[in-house]
Structure formats: structure tokens, C-alpha cells
Amino acid sequence: MAKGCCDERAAGQGACCGGAGKRTILLYACSGGANVAEISDRAARELTSAGCGTMFCLAGIGAGIDSMIQTARDADLNLVLDGCPMDCAKKIFDRAGVTNYRQIKVTDLGIEKTKGVRATDEQVWKVVAKAKESLAAEG
């Protein structure tokens, strides 16, 4: 998949990352059991590989680990990739009192939540493109 933030495949699907190299952008992926969790995770890894941000530990925020919560608070932006309307990642941030985040919900992009089905590259790229668009708007 992506080798750079604006490789030819991603560039045709959305904006670049909006100067991510100058800002601290942390990426958090849904870790549920359905396809939308796999899509979230793969998208976050692609965004990290492309230099759009750094994947960080959602479980650490949920566990209340003070240093991880502080790292999230200190970031310029936390991009939360939730899989479905349960909004687990968003709720973790809200409960931790971290407000500097933007949420993308995979199911809002027309992708149906299904257990036992693998994510497709096309679905992952749809989320990557939306994330890059969102980051560019922040930038």
C-alpha cells in the first residue's frame, strides 16, 4: 500500500496530510472484532507509514494511564478512527477528558459492519482518503 503521504494512489482519493510533519498527530484505531475494526487498524497503519501521524495506544488511554493521556492532551491533534456507531474510541477520549481529537467513523463512509468478513484494500483506502482530507482541513 502507501509508501508516502501523497503517493499516486492516495493522491487521487483525497488531500494530503496538511503538514503533518510539523505537527504532532496521533492516530488511534478501533480494536473491535468486526471488519470495520480491521479497516480502522489498517488505515491507521497506512497513515503512519505515509508520514501522516503516529499510531498510538487507545487501550492505554482507556486504562487511564496518566502519561499516555498526557501525551494525547499534548498532541496537536488526535485522529480517532472508530469502526461503528458504538463510538468506543470517542467515548474513551471523552471519559479521559481529552478534547483535542477529530473522529472518523468507518460506517459513516458507507461501509457495513460485518463479523467474519475481511477488510478490502478499497475499504481501507476509503478511510485513508477521508483521514487525509480531515487532516488537510485541520492543517
Domain boundaries, the chain: 25-138
pLDDT, average across residues 78-87: 97
Rg, the chain, Cα only: 14
Question: What distance in Å separates the CA atoms of residue 86 and residue 46, rounded to the nearest whole number?
Answer: 24
pTM to 2 decimal places = 0.85
Q: Which helix (H) or strand (E) holds 113?
A: none
Return the pLDDT at 138: 81
Instruction: Indicate the length of the chain as a whole number.
Output: 139
Question: What distance in Å separates the CA atoms of residue 80 and residue 135, rounded to the nearest whole number?
Answer: 12
CB proximity list for 40: less than 8 A, separation 6 or greater: 29, 30, 81, 82, 83, 106, 127
CATH architecture designation of domain 25-138: 3-Layer(aba) Sandwich (3.40)
pLDDT, average across residues 95-116: 97
The owner of cell 505537527 is 23
